[in-house]
Amino acid sequence: MEIERHQYDVVVIGAGGAGLRAAIEARQQGKKTAIVCKSLFGKAHTVMAEGGAAAAMGNVNPDDNWQVHFRDTMRGGKFLNNWRMAELHAKEAPDRVWELEAWGALFDRTKDGKISQRNFGGHEYPRLAHVGDRTGLEMIRTLQQRVVALQQEDYKIHGDHEAYIKVFAECTITRLLKDGDAISGAFGYWRENGSLIVFDAPAVVLATGGIGKSYVVTSNSWEYTGDGHALALLAGAKLINMEFIQFHPTGMVWPPSVRGILVTESVRGDGGVLRNSEGKRFMFDYIPEVFKDKYATTEEEADRWYTDQANNRRPPELLPRDEVARAINAEVKAGRGSPQGGVFLDVSTRLPAEEIRKRLPSMHHQFKELADVDITAEPMQVGPTCHYIMGGVEVDADTGAACVPGLFAAGEVSGGMHGSNRLGGNSLSDLLVFGRRAGAGAAAYVDGLTSRPKVHDAAVREAQAEALAPLERSGENPYEVHHELQRTMNDLVGIIRKAEEITEALEVVEKLKERAKGVGAAGTRIYNPGWHLALDLRNMLLVSECVAKAALMREESRGGHTRDDYPQMSAEWRRKLLVCSSSPDGSNVTVEERPQPSMREDLLTLFDRGELSKYLTEEELAEYDAAVA
Ligand code: FAD
């Protein structure tokens, strides 16, 4: 069968917020750009985002600015963040949100007509620009509209809408192609009919999102199989921070068919409180030492904060997600959970029914339809769910470039920005800031090339053989391997981890890797989900191995990595990044320690010494003292 071939300057893999923003930028820089996505165009995780995009616009509280946002982000990530990314993100997020409005987005407004901003965990001031609880939908709609506007411009000039930007939907990339060290293209297949496709392109931007489908209980949908992470790793790039997985504190726990579906943090941002089976508002018992001075210690103060933020501290329900998820886990383990194994989240006694329906329309609909619960009249039952991976492709903060020439990454597939824990709302703004930067980085890279890397026939033949192999054997059912992987990761490398369990998980993953080599897919190439899963398995197993190996190595608890056997945060470990590499066939995944670069002096001095002493080593504090002296 002949393989379809296309030539582009930049191929963007992924059509969520990061991919679309990168593609728009590459096209605006004059590059012929392809957008490839394995789902339908418009169906990406970004569209599911509810709460909003964090940007220090200062519309609701004029004291907000990039420095406060930067500090919150670093605190949320427990100081393991790539500080340059956190700086660029905090500085550029407002412009990226305003730009969306210029392209047609319509955010909710304040009374005086500015973009409204809502409270979210870990953000000192109301900061999330939002559209009810359907912000991601508006973001994707607007970015798609921008793509169409650019296509209309191209039509006027070239007589072809797709002359400079074209979407390849329901098309899955399975391998990146290289010429020597450099990227030369990508190989994939059409999901609908199974025919094969090669993109010949010197620059590839990965924007494939996360890895949640390696876990049983997750807020993520079927596309999140860690493809971009694995594609990068197999092409020679590095993954960092893979041990840090965010378990969102509030997923639905019942009925079983919807377990894991997200309950937006906006419920707590808008006043919802968490209670255990004894009716106790338990979060007051879980305020960690490092946050003691920032959170209310009584219900009265916490409640006053909603109307007077200047004179009161925040309610502890709005602690960063890792803290809230661990607290819920502990309450359930102590036998104080709800009947279905979660805790109660109640907004019905906190806001009038009409207000709940207005502010949280999707949540109201979701609980009514899926669980027959009316959230305006009764509490929800919620528990932690695998939601987001902080780890990903190691990139240059300014350009999104990975260490492989021609490879770029942005959005959830990239690592560093969020450190050990992401603050809610910081992903949507991350997609816009770093999507734009990666698109510009890829365009600049193409401009700087003196010759175009070639796609070699041998590499295409290898990719083809790998892709078709599951169809050519009658092996084990891929769903069985997938199911065992999901259970293993959930039970042994989940929210609380310890060495024996992680070691056991690694043994299982090793065996599953062997079994995956023999899985077979019955049927033809035409819309064959068994075949698609057989190919996705390679990616999920690789990323799971990275997560488990890094989790075993990091002997401390920080953000989205909690070790039962090392329950404290360690200043020494904060200075270390764990970096995963692999052989091109994925058989040999290694993890190495690398020193975390020291924060630039002007950023370091944005914090006071008392706070830094909770995270930094004595040696680093001495550097701080020298800087302020
Ligand atoms: P996505 O939007 O997931 O896009 C990934 C794209 O890659 C898709 O188009 C997919 O088809 C494609 N793809 C994947 N693999 C391949 C492949 N092999 N070949 C071709 N294409 C491929 N964050 C916030 O900041 N605020 C919120 O309010 C918020 N709410 C959320 C609610 C839910 C329910 C969820 C699940 C997440 C939420 N998040 C939120 C997180 C945020 O939505 C995601 O982190 C973010 O949207 C990821 O965007 P992305 O562009 O990196 O990837």
Partners of 271 in the β-ladder: none
What is d(CA 441, CA 128) in angstroms, rounded to the nearest whole number?
A: 27
* pTM of the full structure: 0.94
Query: How many Cα atoms sit within 13 Å of 367 on the Cβ side?
Result: 26
Q: Look at residue 290 in the predicted model and tell me its pLDDT.
A: 85
How far, in Å, is the centroid of ligand 1 from the Cα of 189? 21
User: 3-state DSSP call for residue 344?
Assistant: strand
- What torsion, rounded to 10 degrees, do the Cα atoms 572, 570, 88, 56 define? -160
Q: What is the pLDDT of residues 66-97, one digit of tens each?
A: 999 999 999 999 999 999 999 999 999 999 99
Whether ipTM tops 0.95, in short, is yes
Pocket probe mutation, ligand 1, options 73, 428, 535, max atoms within 8 Å of Cβ: 428
Where helices occur in 165-248 by DSSP H, the ranges are 227-234
Catalytic residue among 21, 134, 146, 248: 248
What residues flank ligand 1, with Cβ below 6 Å? Answer: 13-19, 36-39, 44-46, 48-52, 135-136, 172-173, 207-209, 219-220, 223, 227, 262, 388, 411-413, 424-428, 431
> Quick one: CA dihedral 448, 452, 458, 460, positive or negative?
positive
Q: Look at residue 1 in the predicted model and tell me its pLDDT.
A: 67
45 is catalytic: no
Q: Look at residue 348 in the predicted model and tell me its pLDDT.
A: 96
SS3 for 38-82 is: CCCCCCCHHHHCCCCEECCCCCCCCCCCHHHHHHHHHHHCCCCCC
Residue reference for tokens 């995963």: 580
What is d(CA 408, CA 511) in angstroms, rounded to the nearest whole number?
A: 32
Q: Show the tokens assigned to 569.
A: 């945060």
Q: Whose CA is nearest to atom 23 of ligand 1?
A: 427
Q: Which atom of ligand 1 lies at the shortest distance from residue 171's CA?
A: 20
268 is catalytic: yes
Q: Look at residue 30 in the predicted model and tell me its pLDDT.
A: 97
Sequence-distant (6+) residues with CB within 8 A of 492 are 501, 502, 504, 505, 508, 548
Q: Say whether the peptide bond before residue 255 is cis (omega within 30 degrees of 0).
A: yes
Q: Whose CA is nearest to atom 4 of ligand 1?
A: 16
Q: Look at residue 623 in the predicted model and tell me its pLDDT.
A: 86
Q: Say whether the peptide bond before residue 453 is cis (omega within 30 degrees of 0).
A: no
User: 3-state DSSP call for residue 427?
Assistant: helix
Contact 416, 240 (CB under 8 A): yes
User: 3-state DSSP call for residue 511?
Assistant: helix
In this prediction, the residues of the chain whose per-residue pLDDT falls under 70 are 1
Residue reference for tokens 């109640």: 346
Where helices occur in 275-350 by DSSP H, the ranges are 299-305, 321-333
